[in-house]
Structure 1
Amino acid sequence: MTEYQAFRVELKDRIAHVVINRPEKVNAMNAAFWDEIVDIFRWVDDTDAVRVVVLTGEGKHFSAGIDLQLLAQAASGLGSDIGRNAELLRRKILKLQASLNAVDNCRKPVIAAIQGYCLGGAIDLISACDMRYCTLDAQFSIKEIDMGMAADVGTLQRLPRIIGDGLMRELAYTGRNVNGQEAQSIGLVNRAYPDQASLMQAVLELAAQIAEKSPLAIRGTKEMIRYMRDHRVDDGLEYIATWNAAMLQSADLKVAMAAHMSKQKPDFAD
């Protein structure tokens, strides 16, 4: 397994555990984070043995968001020409967006397990995941407004589809904190747990359940859900018809039906 500066990655029982590993910096998202997350999710996509990803943060907090040193470095690289500055900043922003697009575009389900701080850029990150779970003491905040800027790496684009437009606007305009209980009530997370141990136990049990399913069926299901964010219902129905014209010929259907008939657990190929 590759050694990373900002992450620790483990594969066990078909579950890839991707851990933001900068606890001394509250898991702030530094330059290495943005480069390495692309490589990690490319590996996840390319590795058939991976069925599902669990994304966590090492230590007391999930992540305090983008490392302020990274912003300072970007500012120090600006010159006197406004047009060239704008072109440089635009390229940097698009590169950051591409890093989190790698999570969103991943063929495998990605589950975020969140404890402590989940601020600013970390909201962009979890918005790109399939599902989110947290501890009751978790703290969520779209912090960019307090830094005098608009969030630009995915929160404003993805979060309305998760919690609704009105609530997203409230949180984006105020930057106020949301605890774990409220996060569950507004649909930001599926469920909140009393502590990190119970959170991880529940999330890993869920991941194991998903890992037992047909990987082709999971892939198709995720692709259809993602496709429907940006398309009409009839577009989605046309797409799934074309997709399943091929996928319904998979051996996984025979395996699933045989297991159902014999009341045994199916064992699907990678």
Structure 2
Amino acid sequence: MTDRTPKYKRILLKLSGEALMGGDAYGINRQTIGEIVQEIKAVADLGVQIGVVIGGGNIFRGVAPAATGMDRAQADYMGMLATVMNSLAMQDAMRVAGINCRVQSALSIEQVVEPYIRGKAIRYLEQGRIVIFAAGTGNPFFTTDTAAALRGAEIGAEIVLKATKVDGIYTADPKKDAGATRFDRISFDEAISRGLGVMDATAFALCRDQKLPINVFSIFKAGALQRVVMGENEGTLVYC
């Protein structure tokens, strides 16, 4: 009988806003978000505790032309609100799928979502609920990659899973270089020395300092998230 015990019991899943677009130019594709939720549900059904951070690029892309020349901090706050919209959409998709989910925001919008409280988030995870962390870190100049690293460290996640459109980290851009090869594993130090853009520098440094590994994989490969959680060779593992 195959052992179905997950390798990781508590994870932080980082989704880009663009992952929710499907084939659309911007916004949220309902079918795509539903498929992503089913991938998450398969892992939650194994008893894995899941925290989620979602970017806001898909929403912000629609207003980006109007934001040209805008003050950076102001634009970043708009981006944080975009992540709240994505988080609410994800929560609703999880409701439809029968998943108990809570959204906590780093910005105070209590009429819409509850504020981020670390102890309450951990309690939700222990109760088997999925927790979506919205509004990034609540501060401008910090990306949702940094928010994922920060929340992952705060909740005691065993790994940060960065879900992308590419199935791992390559020696070069596989779309431009047919000879590019994928790393199965790579150390933080080697990734830095090679200049590989795994996450933004602040997030990457935080994960390295906290000895929090990262796995980069494609959320669009059926079953990939579950294979990562089970410890199978999927995507690229960045280790300390």
* Higher helix fraction (1 or 2): 1
TM-score w.r.t. length of structure 2: 0.30
Say which one has the larger Rg: 1
